[in-house]
Amino acid sequence: MNRAKLGSVLFIGALVVALVAPRENEALADRGGVTPLVPRVIENTRTEPIAAPVAAPAAALANAGLKAVATPELGTTGSCPDGMLEVEGDWCSDVEQKCLRYIDPEGAFPRRCAEFAPTSKCNGRTTKKHFCIDRYEWPNRAGENPVVMKTWYEAKDACTNIGKRLCGDSEWTVACEGQERLPYPYGYDRNSEACNIDKSHPDVNEKALGSPDPKVRDAEAKRLWQGEPSGSRSSCVSPYGVFDMTGNVDEWVVNESGRPYNSGLKGGYWGPVRDRCRPMTTVHGEGFSFYQIGFRCCSDVPTAAPAKGPAPVGPAGGNPSVPSTNPPPSAVVGS
């Protein structure tokens, strides 16, 4: 065979392979034989092919110590105003949660649990909940530090002034744990990388923190600050899409039992405390404030399309002194 004929044969053969190979690749991929290639664009460099990742969100979360949950789609606002998420679900009055492995020794309080059994059986009554909740801690803006050193009264007034209200403790719990009633918003295993928790307790200058001089008080609160801007950790999100519900800052809620106060604290803060969805600290009265206490707002679900108002601003006013009915700051226990 002369060179011209050989060249023609080779050219036709290559053309046939080029036309057939993609179809064979697609067929094999459908049978699991080949992982198709897709382009990956890398900024300031050339495009190169890599294997398309197999969609396995549950496996990815498990590798991070988190858990995929079957609760409504994350981040849906529903009928709620901008910056709020619609939550609808059942609250259970008594959930069975068994700790398999503790971090702290027996007798310690608060006692942190490293791993819960993967079950959260409801042993009590259930109540339907349907409400709106801020996506982030006040002032409800991603990338900004939550406001702290506010009393329950100040938090309540701040929410009321923009047409919202403080969350009831049962509402807050549902938004945190989802319909699987998870002990942590991200799953059953405690994870200090998922949320801002387990940082060491600082030495508090209680005299400075309780000073009537706002400059002295604010300087001490700033020195003690170990919080993070809202939304900093993408894994610290509840099944309903609410950020930073455990850790970062404690959050004022309405203690629906009214005992011993109308005030309660949920979620814990950045310190080595329980930092779970269920517990509530109830020893602090409505006039108490401290360096790690913040809040977020809730509201009823609008019956009509909500008006899109301006972004919320921080609460105004001073910081009333702690009433004598409250324990001293040294007795503070996080949620």
Q: Phi and psi at residue 232, in whole multiples of 5°? A: -65, -30
- Residue pointed to by tokens 């498990």: 62
Q: What percent of the chain has pLDDT over 70?
A: 68
Q: What is the pLDDT of residue 78?
A: 80
Q: Burial, 46: exposed, middle or buried (Cβ in 10 Å; 0-12, 13-18, 19+)?
A: exposed
Average pLDDT over residues 143-153: 98
Maximum alpha-carbon separation in the chain: 107
DSSP structure class, residue 275: -
From edge to edge, which strands make up the β-sheet containing 297-299?
84-92, 126-134, 297-299, 165-166
pLDDT band at 8 (very low <50, low <70, confident <90, very high): very low
Residue 69 confidence (pLDDT) above 60: no
**pLDDT (tens digit, 9 = 90+) per residue, 209-237?**
999 999 999 999 999 999 999 999 999 99
Instruction: Tell me the average pLDDT of the chain.
Output: 79
Please say whether the beta carbons of 290 and 333 come within 8 A.
no
* pLDDT for res 37: 29
What is the average pLDDT across 87-100?
97
List the domains of the chain with CATH numbers.
Answer: 79-302 (3.90.1580.10)
Is the backbone peptide bond immediately before 53 cis, with ω within 30 degrees of 0? no
Residues 233-290 pLDDT 10s: 999 999 999 999 999 999 999 999 999 999 999 999 999 999 999 999 999 999 999 9
Of 55-59, 73-77, 182-186, 220-224, the range with the lowest mean pLDDT is 55-59
Helix count and strand count (H, E) for the chain:
6, 14
pLDDT (mean) for 103-109: 93
Q: How far apart are CA 71 and CA 177, in angstroms?
A: 10
Confidence of residue 307 (pLDDT cuts 50, 70, 90): low
Indicate the SS3 state at residue 95.
Answer: strand
Contact 133, 301 (CB under 8 A): no
CA 277, 279, 283 angle in degrees (round to 5)? 140
pLDDT of 22-60, one tens digit each? 443 333 333 333 333 232 222 333 333 333 333 333 433
pTM of the model: 0.72
Per-residue confidence at 181, pLDDT binned at 50, 70, 90? very high
**Better pLDDT: 334 or 229:** 229
Which pLDDT score is estimated for 141? 98
Q: Considering only residues 287 and 62, tell me which one the structure prediction assigns the higher pLDDT.
A: 287
Is 146 a residue whose pLDDT tops 90?
A: yes
β-pair partners for 51: 37
Point out the least confidently predicted range of 70-74, 168-172, 326-330.
Answer: 326-330
- Locus of tokens 């949620």: 335
From 326, 39, 317, select the one nearest 155 (Cα to Cα): 317
- Phi, psi (rounded to 5 degrees) for 301: -75, 125
Predicted confidence at residue 334, as pLDDT, reads 60
Band of residue 303 on the pLDDT scale cut at 50, 70, 90: confident
Tokens at 85, concatenated: 């998420």
Cis bond before residue 139 (omega within 30° of 0):
yes
**pLDDT value at position 333?**
52
The proportion of the chain whose per-residue pLDDT surpasses 90, expressed as a percent, equals 65
